[in-house]
Amino acid sequence: MSQMNMIQAVRSALDVMMHKDPTVIILGQDVGYFGGVFRCTDGLQEKYGEHRVIDAPIAEGGIIGSAIGIGVNGLRPVAEIQFADYIYPGLDQIISELARLRYRSGGEFFSPVTVRAPCGGGIRGGQTHSQSPEALFTHLSGVKTVMPSSPYDAKGLLISAIESDDPVIFFEPKRIYNGPFDGDPNKPAVPWSKHPGGEVPEDYYSIPLGKAEVVEEGDDLTIITYGTMVHVAQAAVHKAGISADVIDVRSLVPLDVETLKTSVEKTGRCLITHEASRFGGYGAELVATVQEECFWHLQAPIERVAGWETPYPHAFEWDYFPAQDRIIASIQKIMEAV
Amino acid sequence: MSQMNMIQAVRSALDVMMHKDPTVIILGQDVGYFGGVFRCTDGLQEKYGEHRVIDAPIAEGGIIGSAIGIGVNGLRPVAEIQFADYIYPGLDQIISELARLRYRSGGEFFSPVTVRAPCGGGIRGGQTHSQSPEALFTHLSGVKTVMPSSPYDAKGLLISAIESDDPVIFFEPKRIYNGPFDGDPNKPAVPWSKHPGGEVPEDYYSIPLGKAEVVEEGDDLTIITYGTMVHVAQAAVHKAGISADVIDVRSLVPLDVETLKTSVEKTGRCLITHEASRFGGYGAELVATVQEECFWHLQAPIERVAGWETPYPHAFEWDYFPAQDRIIASIQKIMEAV
Amino acid sequence: MTPKSRLHIPQPSARPGDAPDFSYLSLSDAGAVARPDSDTPASQIENLASDLVRVLDDDGIAQGEWVPDLTTDQLLEALRMMLLTRQFDARMQRAQRQGKISFYMQSLGEEAISIAQGMALEPGDMMFPSYRNQGLFIIRGTSLVDLMCQCLSNTRDMCKGRQMPIMYHNKQANLFSVSGNLATQYPHAVGWAMASAIKGEEHIASAWVGDGSTAEADFHYALTFAAVYQAPVILNVVNNQWAISTFQGFAGGERRSFAARGLGLGIPGVRVDGNDLLAVYAVTQWAAQRARQGGGPTLIEHVTYRGGAHSTSDDPSRYRPKNEWDAFPLGDPVMRLKQHLVNTGYWSDEQHAALEEELKTFVNEAWKEAVTYGTMTEGPRLDVRVMFDDVYAEVPPHLERQRQQLLALREQSE
Amino acid sequence: MTPKSRLHIPQPSARPGDAPDFSYLSLSDAGAVARPDSDTPASQIENLASDLVRVLDDDGIAQGEWVPDLTTDQLLEALRMMLLTRQFDARMQRAQRQGKISFYMQSLGEEAISIAQGMALEPGDMMFPSYRNQGLFIIRGTSLVDLMCQCLSNTRDMCKGRQMPIMYHNKQANLFSVSGNLATQYPHAVGWAMASAIKGEEHIASAWVGDGSTAEADFHYALTFAAVYQAPVILNVVNNQWAISTFQGFAGGERRSFAARGLGLGIPGVRVDGNDLLAVYAVTQWAAQRARQGGGPTLIEHVTYRGGAHSTSDDPSRYRPKNEWDAFPLGDPVMRLKQHLVNTGYWSDEQHAALEEELKTFVNEAWKEAVTYGTMTEGPRLDVRVMFDDVYAEVPPHLERQRQQLLALREQSE
Ligand SMILES: Cc1ncc(C[n+]2csc(CCOP(=O)(O)OP(=O)(O)O)c2C)c(N)n1
Ligand SMILES: Cc1ncc(C[n+]2csc(CCOP(=O)(O)OP(=O)(O)O)c2C)c(N)n1
Ligand SMILES: [Mg+2]
Ligand SMILES: [Mg+2]
């Protein structure tokens, strides 16, 4: 066991897998000699060589497209997209090729690409370094989509992603790279060493994809969330002084419906929160799933707390961010309903 | 008034607008001399010249990207993407540029691009000529998304789209280009001349974006849908012998929440159906919106009937398609709930 | 708005009703272009991107330094394979017209490219075909029945009913799955070649796109990555003069050849007579050798002509002269190889006619067998259960649930 | 896996600790490259994509056919504008270090490009800058206070608080909105130029990207569309040798120049000494004239060096020698123009020092004014209501509802 922040945990996952499986290679902008703009691959090129940790041209579509070919030829590529905001030039290769290759070839071809991308706001990144585009991926058949909320989960889930023969889009909420964040930017930063999620085994371990985690248990309400918002939601629950299940979805696709169902059937009330803007966000699917599965148990409308339906603005970062106050307001609304 | 099929109605909208506004130009693959693979621009190049109806290279990102620049320079481009399945190489320009240009420039720059794309299945197109990717667009802030279900609506909505200073993604359900389709491929094709929606004025008229239409009124149930499924849903309602509001959303963004609300408050039961696969589809947002707005009126869980969560398969087109039998099964489930 | 405009709109040399005009095509004489060593630096062989490598002259005589080392038996086999491809196409075209399959795309007039390249590459080399490379499948031994069953989406369909006709693959034969999306296979080929280089293997990759498809992003990505990493890959552009209704000028072909597209990245380009099986074979061998030696990528432009409609959904008489193919100065690849073999005394019109008959019968036999596995309208049908397989490596619970839902519905309605 | 590999990994000439080495740069002597007429066909001037157009020699003397028609006053103004850009950068860099702005990107060492091109183009020509073209904003008269207020996201921010620092625009001055996404502006410029040609107007467009960004799809789209429609556009690649940590070899610059990237489409390329204001001016004028005459696009590669870090988030000492800029053979653009003016007798060290002081004061005054409109930490703040404006032309009901929701929440918490 070590103390790791999320960057170190990601790096450790990559290191463990590169060591364990010589077919694992890394491809991305600035990932090689430099070790990545967020340092997630620091030291790996020195350790595994230039042919396994490969600096790439600034061409996201080329990175994903060539990674697919690399994967078809028996290697196991982990592609880094420098910011989730820059994944869009690679969307066609993800949607049209990566996601559907196995299906269209009758199961004969596949490419086990993992795409890592830092996502989310709260680092003064403005509209081009703050996005949470997970909903564009969760609608696709054929890729899995994952977002961890702690170093421990990041490592275990990333290892599963790399080992998976299915393509995985792995979003890393960059606001919590260095520590959990409760949504209040005015409070001093908390390091991961102060959080149990920062305890990370140095060796191999994996967390299966498709399993949510109940990070906090309670009776009155179910909060379903993922990424940075797990911590914000927990803080809001404590501040509101209510007893709630806080569920970290972790694996957005495939979704662990059972865990959600068990909880909402118990509490009868449900709040869903994410950073991405609300309309057509992943939260919409969560609402739809919960209302389909648990309708007869619901004692109040399911509420969504999410980014506003605007781009993520630089100056209004903390007005845009779905912070504790908005969650608490919705909690109150839900709890008042009779 | 004329009888028009949807292709003719689209062409008429383009013709009317090109005549009325000399800044309107058309750009797309095979749209010029040839008149488009679906013939939607037939005759327009001859009428308006090669500099206003422009054949484009096979580069969807280049078509959208250059259309943005054309729009910034005071023209009003209508870009055709040959199949919605091929819009993905243009996604980065839509998401990162077209949708956010006005916002990021403090309102000073904008580009009034309309992107037309035939979508949907039922024409034996397999997984690359059958897709309904609307959910990837409805999550974006800054673009509007429209899908008509009749020639009359197609013309009126397309004219509004072209006139709009906002970018509009305009999906045309190609299965109903030539006639309404009730979901049964074994029945003889019905032409638009047999349907009131095929009555189309030859001159200018417009249908405002952001307004849904109640295409059929009833008391027991609300069906919310759009595109081809409007006709399938209506047929299912008749076959099931129930009394239902069938709402054609038409404008997916902005969404006419009021019309949905009024109906569901009246009926207390709601079914949502679309061709796109279910998970994370536009229907998820419809469920979420309806349950938020009408929770206390709901007498049964909102049901979704949609494409399965697989790519659209060539041989199983009619197993994949959310046909009448699936809708009727869900209607029964909803109506039985007490 | 003023009517004044300087926007250049590319114009094809002839429209329906006009006399065909191929004067825009710059041609070299057979044998006229020198063959550099395959390790010559790119900067010294830029002429190859403008000249046209040709071996067979107008009389069918092989000329010059590019004459490949092919035995008569190999040439006869090549002719057979080209003819087989053509017969296959004709049969499938007919099947579509008869409503037995939903769609089809012929490679009429372009058969030499696939057959020559299939012969020139090693079995371990990986191919990333476009939809007009059925010849690659045939030359690599895919059974016609398998190809037909794919087009039929029937119980023996390799794609399990998921793809439109012609989207074949053949894993065993190292033929990648054909995509409906243009040019997407180009970066795959480069990535595959990169992996081969990483692993230190000798295998190279090869990919094909049409002239029109070069405008797509993936063309650029592939060239960039191939140049940066000097990937052992052959990137082919099949310039058949037309996309759907737009001629190659709309892909930027008016001023320079497609072979020249990589020069700015230091990728050598070779422009070859795509209707000359010997020339295509020679150029491919040269590029393959270059790649295997560590010389990196080569871009080959095959100058040819799309003899048929774009697809069964297309009607080319709307946008080009009906007789344009007849006027194409590089002729018909089958006739050219036939002429060569007849000239050299190893072949005759009678043998040719007999071979055509033999292959027609062979294809018809295959078709008869293929339809026993089902057609769109009759015979056995694929089990609908497979619709939910292969979305993921293992069927996840939600797809299993959907499968059961569908099955329950089907039972109910029976 | 065998350790054997032929995957080529581009290697920069020097890493931290190594002596800088620019021997890879091929240079021409000042005045050595002939100036063709601006209507010369692309095929006859391919040398311009490999040679390096230079005017100022090592002694600061203007040489050869490319010497532009610039008065001393214009040159002095250019020097002033370059210096102003540099002072502005220095001040904003400091502001970031002081925590007054969140981020900054300098154009240190690349000032000649924006200033020269800003002077060479007409006011009606539309510019599509990258994030390292602040000089264009300055030369086109954007007030420093406006630029600073953008970086401050304050009450006078032209972007209304929506963008990170340096994402300026200036509608009146025909400067397009800078994007955080690399290369996306390239097809916009081509489209804008197409529209100009459709309307029959004389205005041309110009766009800038970095060497690294040429790998993006939009670079390819833009070149293709520009070539097909012969759009009146100047496409600039600012090759400052580095992307973030990767040198220009990772964008395919190891074998051919970036200027050569369009040759395969028939787009002329000109490689110019980007640190030589006179050469950049002359080449831009040439390309602009060509475009206005209906000669279509030109690709200009500016050979320069990124004198500073990539951005305030970057630490270049991790990946390149600290003193690399000092060894750059094309020097510092400011010093080179200064030397030229001193040599010609119109300028002196004293005047230069005085100008620097004057501009420093000018910039400081601007900064003092700018902060009165608010900073990240103090002073007036933008009204949060504007967050919901400009998503659409008109605020739709759902955004109005969200605005009210937020305002209610804010009131509640007060
Ligand atoms: C991304 C994408 N855009 C558009 C299409 C529609 N389409 C199919 S084939 C074709 C023309 C391709 O022309 P070319 O590349 O020259 O190949 P050819 O058919 O001549 O072999 C087009 C536009 C597509 N399949 N994929
Ligand atoms: C689409 C996209 N991918 C990645 C990035 C991250 N990024 C910002 S600047 C940069 C390097 C650009 O290098 P170059 O084009 O040479 O321009 P320079 O900074 O040298 O002026 C990268 C990778 C981005 N902004 N956009
Ligand atoms: Mg073609
Ligand atoms: Mg650079």
Tens digits of per-residue pLDDT, D236-256?
Answer: 999 999 999 999 999 999 999
Contact A280/D at CB under 8 A: no
- Given pLDDT bands bounded at 50, 70 and 90, which one contains residue C2? very low
pLDDT of the residue at D1: 43
The verdict on the CB of residue B31 being under 6 Å from ligand 1 is no
- Span D165-181, mean pLDDT? 98
The verdict on the CB of residue D107 being under 6 Å from ligand 2 is no
* Same domain, yes or no: D320 and D396: no
CB contact under 8 A, D217 and C220: yes
* Same domain, yes or no: D347 and D404: no
**Distance between Cα D213 and ligand 2 center (Å):** 6
Domain extent at residue C399:
386-414
pLDDT of the residue at C4: 64
Contacts of A53 (CB under 8 A, 6+ apart): A25, A26, A31, A32, A41, A44, A45
Residues in A closer than 8 angstroms to D161, CB to CB, are: 313-316
pLDDT of the residue at C376: 82
Answer whether residue C3 shows pLDDT above 80: no
Q: Which domains does chain B have, with CATH numbers?
A: 2-200 (3.40.50.970), 213-336 (3.40.50.920)
Answer whether residue C38 shows pLDDT above 90: yes
Q: pTM score, two decimals?
A: 0.98
Residues in B closer than 8 angstroms to C387, CB to CB, are: 308, 310, 313, 316, 319-320
Total domains, chain D: 2
* Same domain, yes or no: C280 and C407: no
The encoded tokens of residue D279 equal 């050469």
Contact B175/C at CB under 8 A: no
Inter-chain contacts counted by CB atoms under 8 A, chains A and C: 144
Contact B2/A at CB under 8 A: no
* Same domain, yes or no: D120 and D95: yes
CB contact under 8 A, C212 and B315: no
Phi first, then psi: what are they for C47, rounded to 5°?
A: -60, -30
In a domain, C262, yes or no: yes
pLDDT of the residue at D62: 98
Alpha-carbon distance of A277 to A338, in angstroms, equals: 28
* Same domain, yes or no: C390 and C351: no
Closest to A279 (Cβ–Cβ): which among B91, B139, B303? B139
Closest to A141 (Cβ–Cβ): which among B85, B100, B310? B310
The verdict on the CB of residue C213 being under 6 Å from ligand 1 is yes
- Alpha carbon of D399: minimum distance to chain B alpha carbons (Å): 10
pLDDT of the residue at B1: 80
The H or E element that residue A304 is part of is: strand A303-307
| Residue from A26, A60, A105, A140 whose CB has the most chain C CBs within 10 Å, to mutate | A105
Residues in A closer than 8 angstroms to B284, CB to CB, are: 280, 284-285, 287-288
In a domain, D186, yes or no: yes
DSSP per residue, C155-176: TT-TTTT-S-TT---BTTTTBP
- Which of D132, D133, D213 to mutate for ligand 2's pocket (most ligand atoms within 8 Å of CB)? D213
- Span C336-342, mean pLDDT? 98
* Same domain, yes or no: D283 and D411: no
In a domain, D7, yes or no: no
The verdict on the CB of residue C196 being under 6 Å from ligand 1 is no
- Span D260-288, mean pLDDT? 98
Rg (CA), chain D: 22
* Same domain, yes or no: D242 and D279: yes
- Span A207-223, mean pLDDT? 98
Residues in B closer than 8 angstroms to A138, CB to CB, are: 279-280
In a domain, D273, yes or no: yes
* Same domain, yes or no: C226 and C241: yes
Write out the catalytic residue numbers of A: 129
In chain A, the N- to C-terminal Cα span, in Å, equals: 47
Identity at A210, one-letter amino acid code: G
In a domain, D21, yes or no: no
Phi first, then psi: what are they for A71, rounded to 5°?
A: -65, -35
Closest to C216 (Cβ–Cβ): which among B59, B129, B309? B59
Answer whether residue D3 shows pLDDT above 80: no
* Same domain, yes or no: D345 and D413: no
Answer whether residue D257 shows pLDDT above 90: yes
Alpha-carbon distance of A214 to A233, in angstroms, equals: 12
The answer to whether D31 and D22 have CB atoms below 8 angstroms apart is no
Contact B204/C at CB under 8 A: no
In a domain, D12, yes or no: no
Residues 29-48 (B) with a CB less than 8 A from some CB of D: none
**Distance between Cα D314 and ligand 2 center (Å):** 12
- Residue with the two structure tokens 């998401």: B95
What average pLDDT does chain A have?
Answer: 98
b/e per residue, C6-37, with b = 16+ CB within 10 A?
bbbbbebbbeeeeebeeeebeebebbbbebbe
Could you tell me which chain C residue has the CA closest to the CA of D1?
A: C199
ipTM of the complex: 0.98
Tens digits of per-residue pLDDT, D338-358?
Answer: 999 999 999 999 999 999 999
Residue B117: CA count within 13 A, CB half-sphere: 27
Identity at C59, one-letter amino acid code: D
* Same domain, yes or no: D197 and D337: yes
Contacts of C235 (CB under 8 A, 6+ apart): C186, C189, C190, C206, C207, C222, C223, C226, C262, C267, C297, C298, C299, C300
Answer whether residue D2 shows pLDDT above 50: no
What is the CATH number for C270? Answer: 3.40.50.970
Query: Which positions of chain B have pLDDT values less than 70?
Result: none
Cβ–Cβ contacts within 10 Å for residue D140, how many?
18
Supply the residue whose CA is at minimum distance from atom 11 of ligand 2.
D243
Alpha-carbon distance of D187 to A294, in angstroms, equals: 49
pLDDT of the residue at D98: 94
Tens digits of per-residue pLDDT, D191-227?
Answer: 999 999 999 999 999 999 999 999 999 999 999 999 9
In a domain, D34, yes or no: no
The verdict on the CB of residue D211 being under 6 Å from ligand 2 is yes
Supply the residue whose CA is at minimum distance from atom 22 of ligand 2.
D244
Residues in A closer than 8 angstroms to C221, CB to CB, are: 59, 61-62, 65-66
* Same domain, yes or no: C156 and C63: yes
* Same domain, yes or no: C378 and C392: no
In a domain, D8, yes or no: no
